[in-house]
Amino acid sequence: MARGRGNFNSNGKQKDEGEKVKISKESLKQALVLFTYLKPYRTKFILSMVFIALSAFTTSLFPFFLGKMIDAASPGGSAGMMGGAPSMIEGLGLKEVKWTLNFTLILIFVQLSFQTIFSFMRVYLLTEVGEKSLADMRKDVYSKLLSMPMSYFTEKRVGELSNRISSDLSQIQDAISFTLAEFLRGIFTLVIGLGFIFWISTKLALVMLAVVPVIAVLAVVFGMRIRKMARKAQDQLAESGTIVQETFQGISIVKAFTSEVYEISRYVKSVYAVVDTAIANARYRGAFISFMIFSVFGAIAFVMWYGANMIQTGELTMGSLTMFVIFSMFVGGTFAGFADMFSQLQKTLGATQSVREILRTEGEPVELTPIAIESQYVLKGNVTFKQVAFSYPSRNDVSVLKDITLTANNGEQIALVGPSGAGKSTIAGLLLKFYEPTSGSIWFDDKNSTTFPLTQLRKQMAFVPQDVILFGGTISENIAYGKLGATAEEIADAARKANAHDFISKFPEGYETIVGERGIKLSGGQRQRIAIARAILKDPAILILDEATSSLDSESEQLVQEALDNLMKNRTSFVIAHRLSTIRNAHKIVVIDKGTVAEQGSHEQLMANNGLYRKLNDMQFEFGSVVK
Ligand SMILES: Nc1ncnc2c1ncn2[C@@H]1O[C@H](COP(=O)(O)OP(=O)(O)O)[C@@H](O)[C@H]1O
Ligand SMILES: [Mg+2]
């Protein structure tokens, strides 16, 4: 995939950062719609929420017991001496409790045991819920994307699309199994922590609250600025990543043109741009970190000093001060965490928006479950184009086809020839109903194409393009793509007819040889013959070949041509050909020029006509005779 550098810029950013969206009522509402995916797992989801609350609560008991332990060891400060709220202690029935050193230790271990169970359960349950609901969501998004019309894919860069989807969905997954839990835990911790702080000493709590929020707000503002600057460095890094990607993708060009020096200098330049930005950021980051160290520790010292004074006057015990400090750290830490969660939430809303957008888009009416061809839709193979005009939805102003009228009778071979850009592939696209004609109509056996369900029609056609893409998997799976559930015999039979059996059998693993991106590389001619075997196995009423032999050398062209002749027998075939020698025997040759039918007839008729066909033919013949 060759991406322009400009394109990647935004793409790379999306990958690393995700798009942030303002938190508004509308965006929240959209996000909540996706919560319907949690519905099947709601029991477990609610249970995990309960465990989050329980684990937050048990965590808060830790500093409480710790404080009690210290008090138990302090001279004179054992049972029940609390600053603040003695009445509450009575209310909780804690007055009778004898807080000894050993007892507090036992309590701590009891608390820790519960805590481990709660934490385990919350992580486990929430991950299960998050993974399962996300898998459902992935399936829906993928199905929806697959049923999008062709124009959707030509207008969007497919690589970007799939990157985008996978990063958006992981963002949502993170939000469900991580951010949400952190958020709830934060809320619980905050409430419980603040409660304890005020219970221990209202006076000290107020002193602390006078200092901490000021620092917290400064930290958040400062932090946001730093993040923004970090993003710039990240973008620049993504750009240098593109250079690496591009050069490796086109490594044969780089080496052939000895452009190593040029590429290295390009890379070094972009890498140093990152360095410059990072160093500029370092000033802010340094200032931020020193400020935070100073103010956090300063605040702790100040609160401790105040609390120590209270111990001297007997208002507070040593243990209570310890509790207080630990609780304050909990509260402070939670505050700091909220800033990050807020930005996570924004990103998640951005992600849900684009996922929702896809789920809401109307796709083509293709069947997403296996269906059989219904008898009333079985094609005989007669095709008629009646004054078809067409422009691509993305280029409304250019009429690619202006007036195409042609007829193909059951079993005939129709060759479409003409200069490149004339509109031949577009005609193939219209046949497959990738697009609808802007005006005019296409008829299959006296029925307007619009009356056919899309899947019924496409099930009866086979398409062999110029560049055959094999899917990752075995050769046999790739051939069976034309007919799911075909037997090994059928597959081998199709391969034999496609002149592919011999070369396939020569592989050590035969039909089980893995092909595709991670498998072995096949030559153009070999891939073409596998595609033909695929089409033979499908046994379609209508066959469309778009320059199926154009990129082949003459030896494999001959093998492929033989295979194609086998394939075209007894079915209507549209053959788009570049080399006119291959279609000389077609029943009808239709010459397309600038979106219109320039002339049509048999080879002899068109040669006698002295028109465009003759001109193209003569040109190729001269060229051919020089080369051969
Ligand atoms: N997806 C598309 N969106 C917009 N224009 C397109 C698209 N595909 C092809 N075209 C334009 O339509 C014209 C005909 O293209 P095509 O049918 O591929 O020609 P041919 O197969 O005869 O070489 C060309 O000018 C091409 O630029
Ligand atoms: Mg073409």
3-state secondary structure 571-628: CEEEEECCCHHHHCCCCEEEEEECCEEEEEECHHHHHHHCCHHHHHHHHHHHHHHHHC
24-200+348-364 placed in CATH 1.20.1560.10 = yes
The Cα diameter of the chain in Å comes to 120
pLDDT at 91: 47
Whole-number Å distance, alpha carbon 548 to ligand 2 midpoint, is 10
Hey, do 379-460+542-549+574-628 and 466-539 end up sharing a CATH topology, with the first three levels equal?
A: yes
Instruction: Give the H or E element holding residue 604.
Output: helix 603-609
pLDDT at 588: 95
In sequence order, the 6+-apart residues with CB closer than 8 A to the CB of 348 are 31, 171, 172, 174, 175, 179
pLDDT at 87: 41
Alpha-carbon Rg for the chain in angstroms: 36
∠ at Cα 418 (416, 422), nearest 5°?
A: 100
pLDDT at 272: 92
The ligand whose atoms approach the alpha carbon of 151 most closely is 1
Q: Name the nearest CA neighbour of 517 among 560, 561, 469.
A: 469
- Choosing from 155, 388, 394, 426 the residue with most ligand 1 atoms within 8 A of its CB, the one to mutate for a pocket test is 426
Q: What amino acid occupies position 230?
A: A
What global pTM score does this model have?
0.77
| Pair 440, 385: CB distance under 8 Å | yes
Instruction: Give the H or E element holding residue 333.
Output: helix 318-360
CB atoms within 10 A of CB 41: 19
The ligand whose atoms approach the alpha carbon of 430 most closely is 1
For the record, the structure tokens of 263 come out as 């590429």
Per-domain residue ranges of the chain: 24-200+348-364, 379-460+542-549+574-628, 466-539
The C-alpha atoms of residue 595 and residue 398 are separated, in whole angstroms, by 10
Identify the DSSP state of 37.
Answer: G
Q: Is the CB of 421 under 6 A from ligand 1?
A: yes
Q: Name the nearest CA neighbour of 108 among 74, 66, 56.
A: 66
pLDDT at 94: 55
466-539 placed in CATH 3.40.1710.10 = no
Query: Could you tell me the sign of the dihedral formed by the alpha carbons of 171, 175, 178, 183, in that order?
Result: positive
Could you tell me which residues are beta bridge partners of residue 126? none
pLDDT at 90: 46
pLDDT at 623: 56
pLDDT at 93: 53
| Pair 31, 348: CB distance under 8 Å | yes
Please give the C-alpha separations between residue 220 and each of 23, 292, 338, 534, in angstroms, as whole numbers. 17, 11, 9, 60
Which residues have their alpha-adjacent CB atom under 5 A from ion ligand 2?
425
In sequence order, the 6+-apart residues with CB closer than 8 A to the CB of 554 are none
Q: Which residue, by CA, sits nearest to atom 24 of ligand 1? A: 421
The C-alpha atoms of residue 434 and residue 392 are separated, in whole angstroms, by 11
Whole-number Å distance, alpha carbon 249 to ligand 1 midpoint, is 26
Rounded to the nearest 10 degrees, the angle between the axes of helix 158-174 and helix 5-17 is: 10
- As averages over each run of 10 residues, the pLDDT of the chain (628 residues) reads 36 46 75 85 93 90 90 65 44 64 92 94 91 91 90 76 81 84 88 90 87 78 80 82 85 90 92 90 87 86 90 90 88 80 82 84 86 91 95 91 94 93 94 94 94 93 88 92 89 91 93 82 86 91 88 72 82 91 90 94 92 89 52
pLDDT at 603: 93
Whole-number Å distance, alpha carbon 400 to ligand 1 midpoint, is 7
CATH for 379-460+542-549+574-628 (1.10.3720.10, 3.60.40.10, 3.40.50.300, 3.40.250.10): 3.40.50.300
Strand order, beta sheet including 588-593: 447-448, 439-444, 383-390, 401-408, 596-601, 588-593, 413-417, 572-576, 542-546, 461-464
